[in-house]
Structure 1
Amino acid sequence: MLIGGGVVGILLIGLLIFLVVKGLGGDDEPAAGPGSSQGTGDGGPGNAAGQAEGVTQKLQSAGYQCSDLFNNESGAHRGCFKYEGSTQSDAVFQFTKDGSIISVQITTRDEENGNNAKVTFDGALQAIGNDAFGGSEVRKIQDAVATGQKSERVGTTWGEFRLSNDSTVSLAGRKSGEEAFKVPDVAWATTEAQLKAGLTAKGYTCKIVCEKKIGDFDRQTIYGFGGSSGGLRQVEMEIRAREDQAKAAWPATVTDAFGVLKAADSAKLKEFADKHTDGKATVAYVAGWRIEVTNRDNDDRWARSIRIKRETYYP
Protein backbone atom coordinates (compact mmCIF):
# COMPACT_ATOMS: atom_id res chain seq x y z
CA MET A 1 0.00 0.00 0.00
CA LEU A 2 1.39 3.35 -0.90
CA ILE A 3 0.81 6.14 1.58
CA GLY A 4 0.68 9.79 0.63
CA GLY A 5 0.42 9.48 -3.17
CA GLY A 6 -2.42 10.75 -5.32
CA VAL A 7 -5.76 9.80 -3.82
CA VAL A 8 -7.19 8.00 -6.84
CA GLY A 9 -4.01 6.02 -7.40
CA ILE A 10 -3.83 5.03 -3.73
CA LEU A 11 -7.38 3.79 -3.61
CA LEU A 12 -7.11 1.84 -6.87
CA ILE A 13 -3.94 0.18 -5.59
CA GLY A 14 -5.67 -0.50 -2.26
CA LEU A 15 -8.58 -2.17 -4.02
CA LEU A 16 -6.18 -4.30 -6.10
CA ILE A 17 -4.27 -5.42 -3.00
CA PHE A 18 -7.56 -6.26 -1.27
CA LEU A 19 -8.65 -8.47 -4.17
CA VAL A 20 -5.26 -10.20 -4.39
CA VAL A 21 -5.13 -10.88 -0.64
CA LYS A 22 -8.69 -12.16 -0.64
CA GLY A 23 -7.85 -14.40 -3.57
CA LEU A 24 -4.83 -15.82 -1.76
CA GLY A 25 -7.00 -16.49 1.25
CA GLY A 26 -9.40 -18.69 -0.69
CA ASP A 27 -13.16 -18.59 -0.67
CA ASP A 28 -13.71 -19.29 3.02
CA GLU A 29 -14.94 -16.39 5.11
CA PRO A 30 -13.52 -16.08 8.63
CA ALA A 31 -15.60 -17.55 11.41
CA ALA A 32 -18.03 -15.31 13.25
CA GLY A 33 -16.37 -12.83 15.58
CA PRO A 34 -16.59 -13.17 19.35
CA GLY A 35 -19.49 -11.53 21.12
CA SER A 36 -20.37 -8.05 19.96
CA SER A 37 -17.02 -7.53 18.17
CA GLN A 38 -16.75 -3.96 19.43
CA GLY A 39 -13.50 -2.00 19.43
CA THR A 40 -12.08 -0.43 22.57
CA GLY A 41 -12.89 2.89 20.93
CA ASP A 42 -9.92 4.96 22.10
CA GLY A 43 -7.10 3.70 19.90
CA GLY A 44 -5.47 1.66 22.67
CA PRO A 45 -5.20 -2.02 23.67
CA GLY A 46 -7.59 -3.73 26.05
CA ASN A 47 -6.95 -6.65 28.38
CA ALA A 48 -4.69 -9.56 27.43
CA ALA A 49 -3.06 -12.54 29.11
CA GLY A 50 -0.54 -15.26 28.31
CA GLN A 51 1.03 -15.20 24.84
CA ALA A 52 -0.88 -12.10 23.74
CA GLU A 53 0.31 -10.06 26.72
CA GLY A 54 3.93 -11.09 26.20
CA VAL A 55 3.84 -10.38 22.46
CA THR A 56 2.23 -6.98 23.02
CA GLN A 57 4.93 -5.99 25.50
CA LYS A 58 7.71 -7.04 23.10
CA LEU A 59 6.21 -5.11 20.20
CA GLN A 60 5.60 -2.00 22.30
CA SER A 61 9.20 -2.15 23.54
CA ALA A 62 10.26 -2.15 19.87
CA GLY A 63 8.30 1.05 19.21
CA TYR A 64 4.98 -0.36 17.99
CA GLN A 65 1.67 1.26 18.95
CA CYS A 66 -0.99 -1.35 19.76
CA SER A 67 -4.79 -1.13 19.76
CA ASP A 68 -7.77 -3.49 19.59
CA LEU A 69 -10.36 -3.72 16.86
CA PHE A 70 -12.43 -5.71 19.36
CA ASN A 71 -11.75 -7.24 22.76
CA ASN A 72 -14.44 -9.07 24.71
CA GLU A 73 -15.34 -12.25 26.58
CA SER A 74 -14.26 -14.62 23.80
CA GLY A 75 -11.12 -13.04 22.41
CA ALA A 76 -9.60 -10.08 20.63
CA HIS A 77 -8.19 -8.72 17.38
CA ARG A 78 -5.09 -6.65 18.09
CA GLY A 79 -2.96 -4.57 15.74
CA CYS A 80 0.49 -3.23 16.56
CA PHE A 81 1.78 -0.64 14.10
CA LYS A 82 5.12 1.04 13.55
CA TYR A 83 5.41 3.71 10.85
CA GLU A 84 8.79 5.46 10.86
CA GLY A 85 10.10 7.27 7.79
CA SER A 86 9.65 5.09 4.74
CA THR A 87 9.31 1.87 6.77
CA GLN A 88 5.80 0.72 7.66
CA SER A 89 5.03 -2.39 9.68
CA ASP A 90 1.72 -3.98 10.71
CA ALA A 91 1.79 -6.84 13.21
CA VAL A 92 -1.81 -8.02 13.60
CA PHE A 93 -2.94 -11.06 15.57
CA GLN A 94 -6.01 -12.59 17.17
CA PHE A 95 -6.13 -14.37 20.50
CA THR A 96 -8.58 -16.18 22.73
CA LYS A 97 -9.60 -15.18 26.25
CA ASP A 98 -6.63 -17.01 27.80
CA GLY A 99 -4.22 -15.14 25.51
CA SER A 100 -3.48 -18.00 23.09
CA ILE A 101 -2.69 -16.57 19.65
CA ILE A 102 -4.79 -18.25 16.95
CA SER A 103 -4.03 -16.19 13.82
CA VAL A 104 -1.40 -13.78 12.55
CA GLN A 105 -0.92 -11.28 9.72
CA ILE A 106 2.43 -9.44 9.52
CA THR A 107 3.10 -6.93 6.74
CA THR A 108 6.16 -4.70 6.31
CA ARG A 109 7.10 -2.40 3.45
CA ASP A 110 9.73 0.19 2.63
CA GLU A 111 9.49 2.05 -0.66
CA GLU A 112 13.10 3.21 -0.44
CA ASN A 113 14.98 0.23 1.00
CA GLY A 114 13.70 -3.34 0.74
CA ASN A 115 16.34 -4.56 3.19
CA ASN A 116 14.84 -2.34 5.89
CA ALA A 117 11.48 -4.02 5.29
CA LYS A 118 13.03 -7.47 5.75
CA VAL A 119 14.82 -6.46 8.96
CA THR A 120 11.64 -4.95 10.39
CA PHE A 121 9.63 -8.00 9.34
CA ASP A 122 12.08 -10.31 11.09
CA GLY A 123 11.79 -8.33 14.32
CA ALA A 124 7.99 -8.56 14.28
CA LEU A 125 8.14 -12.25 13.35
CA GLN A 126 10.38 -13.05 16.32
CA ALA A 127 8.30 -10.93 18.72
CA ILE A 128 5.16 -12.89 17.84
CA GLY A 129 6.55 -16.22 16.71
CA ASN A 130 8.98 -17.08 19.50
CA ASP A 131 6.06 -17.06 21.95
CA ALA A 132 3.29 -18.36 19.69
CA PHE A 133 5.02 -20.78 17.27
CA GLY A 134 8.34 -21.63 18.93
CA GLY A 135 11.87 -20.73 17.89
CA SER A 136 12.37 -23.73 15.58
CA GLU A 137 9.23 -22.85 13.61
CA VAL A 138 10.29 -19.20 13.36
CA ARG A 139 13.54 -20.37 11.78
CA LYS A 140 11.58 -22.23 9.08
CA ILE A 141 9.90 -18.97 8.11
CA GLN A 142 13.20 -17.07 8.26
CA ASP A 143 14.77 -19.66 5.95
CA ALA A 144 11.89 -19.27 3.50
CA VAL A 145 12.38 -15.48 3.45
CA ALA A 146 16.12 -15.92 2.93
CA THR A 147 15.60 -18.06 -0.19
CA GLY A 148 14.08 -15.05 -1.94
CA GLN A 149 11.00 -16.86 -3.23
CA LYS A 150 8.31 -14.34 -4.18
CA SER A 151 5.43 -16.46 -2.91
CA GLU A 152 5.50 -19.59 -0.81
CA ARG A 153 3.48 -21.68 1.62
CA VAL A 154 5.36 -22.56 4.79
CA GLY A 155 4.22 -25.46 6.95
CA THR A 156 4.98 -25.49 10.68
CA THR A 157 3.81 -27.48 13.67
CA TRP A 158 1.68 -24.44 14.66
CA GLY A 159 -0.06 -24.08 11.29
CA GLU A 160 0.46 -23.24 7.63
CA PHE A 161 1.47 -19.75 6.49
CA ARG A 162 1.28 -17.84 3.22
CA LEU A 163 4.49 -15.89 2.66
CA SER A 164 4.84 -13.06 0.14
CA ASN A 165 8.40 -11.85 -0.27
CA ASP A 166 8.60 -8.98 -2.74
CA SER A 167 8.79 -5.20 -2.24
CA THR A 168 6.41 -5.89 0.64
CA VAL A 169 7.09 -8.81 2.98
CA SER A 170 3.96 -10.38 4.43
CA LEU A 171 3.03 -13.50 6.37
CA ALA A 172 -0.47 -14.74 7.15
CA GLY A 173 -1.70 -17.90 8.81
CA ARG A 174 -3.80 -19.42 11.55
CA LYS A 175 -3.25 -22.13 14.12
CA SER A 176 -4.19 -25.65 13.04
CA GLY A 177 -7.73 -26.49 14.14
CA GLU A 178 -8.66 -22.86 14.81
CA GLU A 179 -10.80 -20.41 12.86
CA ALA A 180 -10.05 -16.71 12.72
CA PHE A 181 -12.59 -14.32 14.20
CA LYS A 182 -14.56 -12.31 11.67
CA VAL A 183 -13.79 -8.59 11.67
CA PRO A 184 -16.65 -6.08 12.10
CA ASP A 185 -18.45 -5.15 8.89
CA VAL A 186 -18.65 -1.40 9.43
CA ALA A 187 -19.99 1.34 7.16
CA TRP A 188 -20.81 5.02 7.46
CA ALA A 189 -24.46 6.05 7.34
CA THR A 190 -23.36 8.52 4.64
CA THR A 191 -23.37 7.42 0.99
CA GLU A 192 -20.92 8.54 -1.67
CA ALA A 193 -23.60 10.74 -3.25
CA GLN A 194 -24.39 12.37 0.10
CA LEU A 195 -20.69 13.00 0.75
CA LYS A 196 -20.32 14.76 -2.60
CA ALA A 197 -23.49 16.79 -2.12
CA GLY A 198 -22.44 17.91 1.35
CA LEU A 199 -18.94 18.90 0.22
CA THR A 200 -20.26 20.68 -2.88
CA ALA A 201 -22.29 22.85 -0.51
CA LYS A 202 -19.03 23.67 1.30
CA GLY A 203 -17.39 24.92 -1.89
CA TYR A 204 -15.70 21.74 -3.15
CA THR A 205 -15.70 20.64 -6.77
CA CYS A 206 -16.72 16.98 -6.80
CA LYS A 207 -16.16 14.53 -9.65
CA ILE A 208 -14.33 11.31 -8.79
CA VAL A 209 -12.88 13.14 -5.78
CA CYS A 210 -13.90 16.36 -4.06
CA GLU A 211 -11.33 19.15 -4.28
CA LYS A 212 -10.91 22.73 -3.11
CA LYS A 213 -8.10 24.95 -4.34
CA ILE A 214 -5.40 26.26 -2.02
CA GLY A 215 -3.67 29.23 -3.61
CA ASP A 216 -3.02 28.99 -7.34
CA PHE A 217 -1.70 25.45 -7.68
CA ASP A 218 -2.48 23.29 -4.62
CA ARG A 219 -5.58 21.47 -3.39
CA GLN A 220 -7.21 19.84 -0.41
CA THR A 221 -8.99 16.61 -1.30
CA ILE A 222 -11.68 14.39 0.25
CA TYR A 223 -12.72 11.05 -1.19
CA GLY A 224 -14.88 8.09 -0.18
CA PHE A 225 -16.28 4.90 -1.65
CA GLY A 226 -18.93 2.50 -0.46
CA GLY A 227 -20.00 -1.11 -0.58
CA SER A 228 -23.09 -2.91 -1.79
CA SER A 229 -25.10 -1.53 1.16
CA GLY A 230 -24.52 2.02 -0.05
CA GLY A 231 -22.73 3.36 3.03
CA LEU A 232 -19.12 4.49 2.70
CA ARG A 233 -16.51 1.86 3.64
CA GLN A 234 -13.45 4.07 3.22
CA VAL A 235 -12.83 7.80 3.47
CA GLU A 236 -9.65 9.74 2.84
CA MET A 237 -8.67 13.36 3.45
CA GLU A 238 -5.49 14.72 1.91
CA ILE A 239 -3.66 18.01 1.53
CA ARG A 240 -0.56 18.92 -0.47
CA ALA A 241 0.54 22.53 -0.27
CA ARG A 242 3.15 24.97 0.99
CA GLU A 243 3.58 24.63 4.73
CA ASP A 244 2.07 28.01 5.60
CA GLN A 245 -0.99 27.42 3.42
CA ALA A 246 -1.42 23.80 4.52
CA LYS A 247 -1.30 24.66 8.23
CA ALA A 248 -4.21 27.03 7.73
CA ALA A 249 -6.24 24.74 5.46
CA TRP A 250 -5.71 21.27 6.99
CA PRO A 251 -7.93 21.67 10.10
CA ALA A 252 -10.74 22.92 7.86
CA THR A 253 -10.32 19.92 5.55
CA VAL A 254 -10.78 17.51 8.47
CA THR A 255 -13.71 19.50 9.86
CA ASP A 256 -15.38 19.63 6.43
CA ALA A 257 -15.15 15.85 6.03
CA PHE A 258 -16.47 15.00 9.49
CA GLY A 259 -19.17 17.63 9.12
CA VAL A 260 -20.70 15.53 6.35
CA LEU A 261 -19.86 12.00 7.55
CA LYS A 262 -22.45 10.38 9.81
CA ALA A 263 -21.83 7.36 12.05
CA ALA A 264 -22.49 6.42 15.66
CA ASP A 265 -18.84 6.83 16.65
CA SER A 266 -17.67 9.52 14.22
CA ALA A 267 -16.87 11.83 17.17
CA LYS A 268 -14.30 9.31 18.47
CA LEU A 269 -12.64 9.15 15.06
CA LYS A 270 -12.44 12.93 14.77
CA GLU A 271 -11.09 13.17 18.32
CA PHE A 272 -8.31 10.73 17.42
CA ALA A 273 -7.51 12.66 14.23
CA ASP A 274 -7.43 15.98 16.10
CA LYS A 275 -4.98 14.54 18.66
CA HIS A 276 -2.50 13.53 15.95
CA THR A 277 -1.69 16.73 14.09
CA ASP A 278 2.03 16.81 14.93
CA GLY A 279 3.10 15.31 11.60
CA LYS A 280 4.02 11.92 13.06
CA ALA A 281 2.53 8.93 11.28
CA THR A 282 0.23 6.76 13.40
CA VAL A 283 -2.17 3.88 12.80
CA ALA A 284 -4.78 2.55 15.22
CA TYR A 285 -8.14 0.86 15.58
CA VAL A 286 -10.78 3.30 16.78
CA ALA A 287 -14.48 2.47 17.21
CA GLY A 288 -14.26 -0.59 14.95
CA TRP A 289 -12.39 1.22 12.15
CA ARG A 290 -8.75 1.35 11.08
CA ILE A 291 -7.51 4.95 10.95
CA GLU A 292 -4.18 5.94 9.39
CA VAL A 293 -2.65 9.38 9.90
CA THR A 294 0.33 9.79 7.59
CA ASN A 295 2.62 12.46 6.18
CA ARG A 296 5.25 13.02 3.54
CA ASP A 297 6.34 16.53 4.40
CA ASN A 298 9.29 17.74 2.36
CA ASP A 299 11.20 20.96 3.06
CA ASP A 300 8.60 23.75 2.97
CA ARG A 301 5.76 21.60 1.62
CA TRP A 302 3.22 19.56 3.54
CA ALA A 303 1.71 16.28 2.36
CA ARG A 304 -0.73 14.98 4.98
CA SER A 305 -3.51 12.41 4.81
CA ILE A 306 -6.04 10.66 7.02
CA ARG A 307 -7.53 7.39 5.84
CA ILE A 308 -10.39 5.64 7.67
CA LYS A 309 -11.36 2.20 6.42
CA ARG A 310 -12.79 -1.18 7.27
CA GLU A 311 -10.20 -3.67 8.48
CA THR A 312 -9.30 -6.48 6.06
CA TYR A 313 -7.89 -9.65 7.59
CA TYR A 314 -7.40 -12.98 5.81
CA PRO A 315 -4.96 -15.16 7.80
Structure 2
Amino acid sequence: MHEPSRREQSASAHEPSAPPAGRHWFITGANSGLGAAFVDAALAAGDRVTGAVRRPETMAAKSAAHPERLAVVPLEVTEADRCAAALREAEAVGGPIDVLVNNAGFGTVGAVEETGDEELRHVMEVMFHGPLRLTRLALPTMRRRRSGTIVQVSSMGGLLSFAGVGAYCAAKGALELASEALSDEVRPLGVRVLIVEPGAFRTAFNGAISSTTPLPDYEATVGPLRESLLGTENGQQPGDPRKAAEALLAVLRLPDPPLRLALGDDAFSAIRAKLGAVEADLAVTEHLGTGAAVNFG
Protein backbone atom coordinates (compact mmCIF):
# COMPACT_ATOMS: atom_id res chain seq x y z
CA MET A 1 0.00 0.00 0.00
CA HIS A 2 1.32 3.43 -0.94
CA GLU A 3 2.46 5.52 2.01
CA PRO A 4 2.22 9.27 1.32
CA SER A 5 5.56 10.99 1.29
CA ARG A 6 6.34 13.89 3.56
CA ARG A 7 5.99 16.21 0.55
CA GLU A 8 2.58 14.73 -0.29
CA GLN A 9 1.50 15.07 3.32
CA SER A 10 2.63 18.70 3.38
CA ALA A 11 0.84 19.50 0.14
CA SER A 12 -2.33 17.84 1.42
CA ALA A 13 -2.19 19.85 4.62
CA HIS A 14 -2.17 23.08 2.63
CA GLU A 15 -4.93 22.18 0.19
CA PRO A 16 -8.09 24.23 0.76
CA SER A 17 -10.82 22.30 2.53
CA ALA A 18 -14.10 21.61 0.80
CA PRO A 19 -16.66 24.40 1.23
CA PRO A 20 -19.12 23.77 4.06
CA ALA A 21 -22.50 22.36 3.11
CA GLY A 22 -25.51 24.63 2.85
CA ARG A 23 -25.89 28.25 1.84
CA HIS A 24 -24.21 31.18 3.56
CA TRP A 25 -26.61 33.99 4.50
CA PHE A 26 -25.64 37.54 5.43
CA ILE A 27 -28.58 39.15 7.27
CA THR A 28 -28.67 42.71 8.55
CA GLY A 29 -30.86 43.56 11.53
CA ALA A 30 -30.58 39.89 12.48
CA ASN A 31 -31.20 40.24 16.21
CA SER A 32 -34.95 40.94 16.23
CA GLY A 33 -38.20 40.79 14.32
CA LEU A 34 -38.16 39.46 10.78
CA GLY A 35 -34.37 39.38 10.79
CA ALA A 36 -34.28 37.01 13.76
CA ALA A 37 -36.96 34.84 12.13
CA PHE A 38 -34.90 34.66 8.94
CA VAL A 39 -31.86 33.59 10.97
CA ASP A 40 -33.81 30.83 12.71
CA ALA A 41 -35.28 29.55 9.44
CA ALA A 42 -31.91 29.49 7.69
CA LEU A 43 -30.29 27.61 10.59
CA ALA A 44 -33.20 25.14 10.69
CA ALA A 45 -32.62 24.52 6.97
CA GLY A 46 -29.02 23.53 7.70
CA ASP A 47 -27.49 26.73 6.33
CA ARG A 48 -24.82 29.03 7.72
CA VAL A 49 -25.60 32.59 8.78
CA THR A 50 -23.68 35.75 9.47
CA GLY A 51 -25.83 38.10 11.50
CA ALA A 52 -24.88 41.76 11.07
CA VAL A 53 -26.14 43.96 13.89
CA ARG A 54 -25.33 47.21 15.63
CA ARG A 55 -25.00 45.46 19.01
CA PRO A 56 -23.46 41.98 18.62
CA GLU A 57 -24.01 41.17 22.29
CA THR A 58 -27.75 40.89 21.59
CA MET A 59 -27.03 37.69 19.63
CA ALA A 60 -24.57 36.14 22.07
CA ALA A 61 -26.93 33.40 23.31
CA LYS A 62 -28.02 32.36 19.82
CA SER A 63 -24.44 32.40 18.58
CA ALA A 64 -23.35 30.20 21.48
CA ALA A 65 -26.13 27.74 20.64
CA HIS A 66 -24.92 27.47 17.02
CA PRO A 67 -21.15 28.02 17.20
CA GLU A 68 -20.40 26.23 13.92
CA ARG A 69 -23.08 27.86 11.78
CA LEU A 70 -23.80 31.31 13.18
CA ALA A 71 -21.31 34.16 13.22
CA VAL A 72 -22.07 37.71 14.33
CA VAL A 73 -20.39 40.87 13.07
CA PRO A 74 -20.91 44.47 14.15
CA LEU A 75 -22.46 46.66 11.47
CA GLU A 76 -23.85 50.15 11.11
CA VAL A 77 -25.24 50.30 7.58
CA THR A 78 -24.61 54.05 7.34
CA GLU A 79 -20.83 53.49 7.60
CA ALA A 80 -19.32 52.56 4.23
CA ASP A 81 -16.01 51.26 5.61
CA ARG A 82 -17.77 49.11 8.18
CA CYS A 83 -20.05 47.61 5.53
CA ALA A 84 -17.05 46.49 3.49
CA ALA A 85 -15.27 45.14 6.56
CA ALA A 86 -18.33 43.23 7.75
CA LEU A 87 -18.69 41.42 4.42
CA ARG A 88 -14.97 40.57 4.41
CA GLU A 89 -15.22 39.18 7.93
CA ALA A 90 -18.28 37.14 7.01
CA GLU A 91 -16.62 35.61 3.95
CA ALA A 92 -13.45 34.84 5.90
CA VAL A 93 -15.45 32.77 8.38
CA GLY A 94 -18.31 31.34 6.34
CA GLY A 95 -17.18 31.52 2.74
CA PRO A 96 -18.83 33.44 -0.12
CA ILE A 97 -22.23 34.98 0.51
CA ASP A 98 -25.03 33.03 -1.18
CA VAL A 99 -27.98 35.05 0.17
CA LEU A 100 -27.70 38.71 1.15
CA VAL A 101 -30.72 39.91 3.16
CA ASN A 102 -30.93 43.69 3.56
CA ASN A 103 -33.36 43.80 6.47
CA ALA A 104 -32.15 46.57 8.81
CA GLY A 105 -34.46 49.56 9.08
CA PHE A 106 -36.84 51.54 11.25
CA GLY A 107 -40.24 53.18 11.05
CA THR A 108 -40.91 56.87 10.87
CA VAL A 109 -44.18 58.80 11.00
CA GLY A 110 -44.86 62.42 10.16
CA ALA A 111 -46.22 64.70 7.48
CA VAL A 112 -43.88 65.59 4.64
CA GLU A 113 -43.83 69.24 5.76
CA GLU A 114 -42.91 68.14 9.29
CA THR A 115 -39.93 66.11 8.08
CA GLY A 116 -36.65 68.04 8.11
CA ASP A 117 -33.70 67.58 5.80
CA GLU A 118 -31.60 65.75 8.40
CA GLU A 119 -34.39 63.33 9.25
CA LEU A 120 -35.09 62.60 5.58
CA ARG A 121 -31.43 62.03 4.82
CA HIS A 122 -31.13 59.59 7.72
CA VAL A 123 -34.17 57.62 6.57
CA MET A 124 -32.75 57.38 3.05
CA GLU A 125 -29.28 56.50 4.31
CA VAL A 126 -30.49 53.58 6.43
CA MET A 127 -33.15 52.13 4.13
CA PHE A 128 -31.91 53.05 0.65
CA HIS A 129 -28.21 53.91 0.51
CA GLY A 130 -27.23 51.27 3.09
CA PRO A 131 -28.90 48.32 1.35
CA LEU A 132 -27.59 49.38 -2.06
CA ARG A 133 -24.10 49.79 -0.62
CA LEU A 134 -24.11 46.23 0.72
CA THR A 135 -25.63 45.01 -2.54
CA ARG A 136 -22.80 46.57 -4.56
CA LEU A 137 -20.22 45.10 -2.22
CA ALA A 138 -21.67 41.58 -2.48
CA LEU A 139 -22.19 41.57 -6.24
CA PRO A 140 -18.61 41.12 -7.51
CA THR A 141 -18.27 37.70 -5.83
CA MET A 142 -21.78 36.69 -6.87
CA ARG A 143 -21.05 37.67 -10.47
CA ARG A 144 -17.83 35.71 -10.54
CA ARG A 145 -19.61 32.65 -9.18
CA ARG A 146 -22.66 33.23 -11.41
CA SER A 147 -24.76 32.51 -8.34
CA GLY A 148 -26.42 34.30 -5.44
CA THR A 149 -29.61 35.93 -4.23
CA ILE A 150 -30.15 39.48 -2.99
CA VAL A 151 -33.20 39.87 -0.75
CA GLN A 152 -34.35 43.45 -0.25
CA VAL A 153 -36.73 43.70 2.69
CA SER A 154 -39.01 46.54 1.67
CA SER A 155 -42.60 46.96 2.84
CA MET A 156 -46.05 47.13 1.38
CA GLY A 157 -45.15 50.83 1.68
CA GLY A 158 -42.63 50.29 -1.09
CA LEU A 159 -45.53 50.17 -3.56
CA LEU A 160 -47.96 52.59 -1.93
CA SER A 161 -48.05 55.50 0.46
CA PHE A 162 -50.48 57.54 2.50
CA ALA A 163 -50.55 60.43 4.95
CA GLY A 164 -47.87 60.23 7.60
CA VAL A 165 -45.42 57.80 6.01
CA GLY A 166 -44.05 59.81 3.10
CA ALA A 167 -40.40 59.61 4.15
CA TYR A 168 -40.50 55.91 5.03
CA CYS A 169 -42.29 54.94 1.82
CA ALA A 170 -39.99 57.16 -0.25
CA ALA A 171 -36.97 55.18 0.99
CA LYS A 172 -38.64 51.80 0.47
CA GLY A 173 -39.99 52.83 -2.93
CA ALA A 174 -36.57 54.01 -4.05
CA LEU A 175 -35.07 50.69 -2.96
CA GLU A 176 -37.73 48.79 -4.89
CA LEU A 177 -37.20 50.69 -8.13
CA ALA A 178 -33.42 50.34 -7.94
CA SER A 179 -33.84 46.64 -7.20
CA GLU A 180 -36.22 46.20 -10.13
CA ALA A 181 -33.54 47.57 -12.45
CA LEU A 182 -30.90 45.50 -10.68
CA SER A 183 -32.89 42.34 -11.26
CA ASP A 184 -32.85 42.93 -15.02
CA GLU A 185 -29.12 43.63 -14.90
CA VAL A 186 -27.98 40.59 -12.92
CA ARG A 187 -30.48 37.89 -13.92
CA PRO A 188 -28.44 36.97 -17.04
CA LEU A 189 -25.42 36.61 -14.74
CA GLY A 190 -27.06 33.99 -12.53
CA VAL A 191 -27.89 36.37 -9.66
CA ARG A 192 -31.47 36.70 -8.42
CA VAL A 193 -33.22 39.61 -6.70
CA LEU A 194 -36.24 39.25 -4.42
CA ILE A 195 -38.16 42.23 -3.03
CA VAL A 196 -40.05 41.36 0.17
CA GLU A 197 -43.08 43.52 1.01
CA PRO A 198 -44.35 42.79 4.54
CA GLY A 199 -47.40 44.26 6.18
CA ALA A 200 -47.65 44.50 9.98
CA PHE A 201 -45.83 41.67 11.76
CA ARG A 202 -45.27 40.92 15.44
CA THR A 203 -41.88 42.58 15.76
CA ALA A 204 -40.30 45.45 17.69
CA PHE A 205 -41.02 47.78 14.74
CA ASN A 206 -43.47 50.02 16.61
CA GLY A 207 -41.05 50.53 19.46
CA ALA A 208 -38.41 51.95 17.11
CA ILE A 209 -40.63 54.41 15.24
CA SER A 210 -39.30 57.93 14.87
CA SER A 211 -41.93 60.67 15.03
CA THR A 212 -41.74 64.25 13.80
CA THR A 213 -42.98 67.22 15.79
CA PRO A 214 -46.69 67.51 14.88
CA LEU A 215 -48.19 70.54 13.19
CA PRO A 216 -51.85 71.17 14.14
CA ASP A 217 -53.06 71.39 10.52
CA TYR A 218 -52.08 67.74 9.95
CA GLU A 219 -53.84 66.37 13.00
CA ALA A 220 -56.80 65.14 10.96
CA THR A 221 -54.70 63.31 8.35
CA VAL A 222 -51.52 62.24 10.17
CA GLY A 223 -52.75 62.25 13.77
CA PRO A 224 -54.74 58.99 13.66
CA LEU A 225 -51.83 57.06 12.14
CA ARG A 226 -49.35 58.53 14.62
CA GLU A 227 -51.63 57.55 17.49
CA SER A 228 -52.19 54.08 16.07
CA LEU A 229 -48.52 53.27 15.40
CA LEU A 230 -47.16 54.73 18.62
CA GLY A 231 -50.05 53.33 20.66
CA THR A 232 -49.92 49.74 19.41
CA GLU A 233 -47.72 47.59 21.60
CA ASN A 234 -45.16 45.36 19.96
CA GLY A 235 -46.36 41.80 19.72
CA GLN A 236 -49.93 42.80 18.92
CA GLN A 237 -49.47 43.05 15.14
CA PRO A 238 -51.28 40.35 13.12
CA GLY A 239 -48.39 38.83 11.16
CA ASP A 240 -46.32 35.87 12.42
CA PRO A 241 -42.59 36.37 11.65
CA ARG A 242 -42.03 32.60 11.52
CA LYS A 243 -44.55 32.26 8.70
CA ALA A 244 -42.86 35.12 6.88
CA ALA A 245 -39.52 33.30 7.12
CA GLU A 246 -41.09 30.06 5.90
CA ALA A 247 -42.54 31.91 2.91
CA LEU A 248 -39.14 33.42 2.10
CA LEU A 249 -37.43 30.03 2.09
CA ALA A 250 -40.24 28.55 -0.01
CA VAL A 251 -39.84 31.27 -2.65
CA LEU A 252 -36.07 30.84 -2.72
CA ARG A 253 -36.61 27.16 -3.52
CA LEU A 254 -38.62 27.97 -6.64
CA PRO A 255 -36.74 27.36 -9.91
CA ASP A 256 -38.04 30.66 -11.33
CA PRO A 257 -38.92 32.88 -8.35
CA PRO A 258 -40.93 36.08 -8.76
CA LEU A 259 -39.45 39.52 -8.25
CA ARG A 260 -41.79 40.37 -5.36
CA LEU A 261 -43.05 38.56 -2.28
CA ALA A 262 -45.87 40.30 -0.41
CA LEU A 263 -46.36 39.07 3.15
CA GLY A 264 -49.54 39.40 5.20
CA ASP A 265 -53.25 39.76 4.48
CA ASP A 266 -52.96 43.53 4.95
CA ALA A 267 -50.14 43.76 2.43
CA PHE A 268 -52.07 41.85 -0.22
CA SER A 269 -55.25 43.89 0.21
CA ALA A 270 -53.41 47.23 0.28
CA ILE A 271 -51.26 46.43 -2.77
CA ARG A 272 -54.26 45.23 -4.76
CA ALA A 273 -56.14 48.41 -3.85
CA LYS A 274 -53.17 50.50 -5.01
CA LEU A 275 -52.97 48.65 -8.33
CA GLY A 276 -56.71 49.16 -8.80
CA ALA A 277 -56.38 52.88 -8.07
CA VAL A 278 -53.60 53.23 -10.64
CA GLU A 279 -55.71 51.41 -13.24
CA ALA A 280 -58.65 53.70 -12.45
CA ASP A 281 -56.47 56.80 -12.93
CA LEU A 282 -55.28 55.49 -16.30
CA ALA A 283 -58.82 54.79 -17.41
CA VAL A 284 -60.02 58.30 -16.48
CA THR A 285 -57.14 60.11 -18.20
CA GLU A 286 -56.43 57.83 -21.18
CA HIS A 287 -58.23 60.10 -23.64
CA LEU A 288 -56.05 63.00 -22.46
CA GLY A 289 -52.70 61.26 -22.20
CA THR A 290 -52.66 59.15 -25.37
CA GLY A 291 -52.46 60.10 -29.02
CA ALA A 292 -50.00 62.91 -28.29
CA ALA A 293 -47.26 61.64 -30.60
CA VAL A 294 -46.21 64.06 -33.34
CA ASN A 295 -47.44 62.95 -36.77
CA PHE A 296 -44.59 63.37 -39.24
CA GLY A 297 -46.69 61.92 -42.09
TM-score range, shorter chain: under 0.3
TM-score w.r.t. length of structure 1: 0.25
TM-score w.r.t. length of structure 2: 0.26
Structure with the largest fraction of helix = 2
Larger Rg: 2
Structure with the largest fraction of strand = 1
